[in-house]
Amino acid sequence: AAPVAFMGGMSSAARLNVIIKDGGVLEVLARVRSVAFDKTGTLTQGRPAVVGIRPAAGRAPDEVLRLAASAEQHSVHVFAQPIVDVALRDGVDLCPVTSAEEVATHGVEVLLGDGSRVRVGKPSFIEDAVGALHRADLAPGETAVYVSTDDTFAGVIVLSDPVRPQAAETVARMRAAGVEQVVMVTGDVASTARSIAGELGVTEVHAETTPQMKVDIVGSLAPRPTLMVGDGINDAPVLAAADAGIAMAGRGATAASESASAVVTSDDISRVADAMEVSRRTVAVAL
Ligand code: ADP
Ligand code: MG
């Protein structure tokens, strides 16, 4: 392959805010046949708004918010800051926390000053502490965060995390360019995952996946080569499991995801389709 053409392809991509690690990535992106997308922060904007608080029987909304925000102060998940912000806005005092443990992609657990243990996160994480739960009824685009204190379910916080405006167009362009298989792999629950996948015309959905499950699913995706598009914060292992991995790192991103082959440094997911197009043109010229 002609190195000059590859350097040209990498700089064309860079002008579109796609930082490609090396020329070999262009060769893979030019031939991608299967694509897996993460949901939260990738197909969705990852800047969710709190749209509801649903306390368990006998609890007040402010109490659920206080517990959740006290724990979320110690989390880096995209849902953490919006919950803390709402508590601060509403003048809800946070509880003193003596220790905190973030269980990546599951939730966060803290010990409060009074000795009680608070969990916030996905339903299965709360069920480990309190037993079986009913899943909240959600409108399209909504997702829920579950809260428990000691071994009692405390309530649900509902967030709305809109789909990125260019997501549907991106999936359609990939298909038009010859991608045969498009799947979603997400840690979120099936109902939320399916409603978003439906909007985008993605029919294969893997919900409530752990990071290891994401790696296994993407590792066995066919036909190859495969591309994983993730959010760059907690998708490092799965980005490495595909033949190429692109991280949606966002505007002003400096710390590029180590395991990604390319990083999008804007909020426009259609840059992934652009990068594939640039790659095809570059490879066509270089051969
Ligand atoms: P995706 O795989 O689509 O990027 P994530 O695994 O980041 O999704 O999040 C999926 C689910 O994880 C959320 O719907 C939420 O229930 C839960 N979750 C994980 N960590 C937290 C946290 N710190 N606060 C709230 N929810 C969390
Ligand atoms: Mg994500």
Enumerate domains of the chain plus CATH numbers: 3-45+163-286 (3.40.50.1000), 49-160 (3.40.1110.10)
Cα–Cα distance measured from residue 275 to residue 134, given in angstroms and rounded to the nearest whole number? 42
User: Ligand 1 centroid vs 27 CA: distance in angstroms?
Assistant: 33
Whose C-alpha lies nearest to ligand 1, atom 13?
188
Q: Is 206 in the pocket of ligand 1 (CB under 6 A)?
A: no
In this prediction, residues 281-286 reach a mean pLDDT of 89
In contact, 67 and 97? CB cutoff 8 Å: no
Q: Is 196 in the pocket of ligand 1 (CB under 6 A)?
A: no
The ligand placed nearest to the CA atom of residue 161 is 1
User: Ligand 2 centroid vs 255 CA: distance in angstroms?
Assistant: 17
Whether the ω angle into residue 223 lies within 30 degrees of 0, i.e. cis, is yes
Active-site option among 22, 38, 150, 161: 38
Q: What is the pLDDT of residue 5?
A: 85
- Adjacency order of strands within the sheet including 244-248: 18-20, 262-264, 244-248, 226-230, 34-38, 181-185, 204-206
**Which ligand 1 atom minimizes the distance to the CA of 39?**
3
Q: What is the pLDDT of residue 58?
A: 96
Tell me the two tokens of residue 267: 């909020």
Cα–Cα distance measured from residue 186 to residue 78, given in angstroms and rounded to the nearest whole number? 14
In this prediction, residues 185-206 reach a mean pLDDT of 93
Residue 276, number of CB atoms within 10 A of its CB: 28
The ligand placed nearest to the CA atom of residue 104 is 1
Q: Is 205 in the pocket of ligand 1 (CB under 6 A)?
A: no
Whose C-alpha lies nearest to ligand 1, atom 21?
107
User: Ligand 1 centroid vs 78 CA: distance in angstroms?
Assistant: 8
User: Ligand 2 centroid vs 105 CA: distance in angstroms?
Assistant: 8
The ligand placed nearest to the CA atom of residue 230 is 2
Model pTM score = 0.89
Instruction: Please give all residues whose CB falls under 5 A of ion ligand 2, grouped by chain where several chains appear.
Output: 38, 40-41, 231
Q: Is 67 in the pocket of ligand 1 (CB under 6 A)?
A: no
Whose C-alpha lies nearest to ligand 1, atom 15?
122
pLDDT bucket at 205, cuts 50 / 70 / 90 = very high
| For the chain, percent of residues with pLDDT exceeding 70 | 97
Q: What is the pLDDT of residue 171?
A: 98
Rounded to two decimals, the ipTM of the complex is 0.95
Cα–Cα distance measured from residue 189 to residue 251, given in angstroms and rounded to the nearest whole number? 28
Catalytic-residue membership of 38: yes
pLDDT 10s digits, 164-178:
999 999 999 999 999
Q: Is 232 in the pocket of ligand 1 (CB under 6 A)?
A: no
Q: What is the pLDDT of residue 140?
A: 82
The ligand placed nearest to the CA atom of residue 77 is 1
Q: Is 138 in the pocket of ligand 1 (CB under 6 A)?
A: no
User: Ligand 1 centroid vs 214 CA: distance in angstroms?
Assistant: 14
pLDDT 10s digits, 94-146:
999 999 999 988 999 999 999 999 999 999 999 999 999 999 999 888 999 99
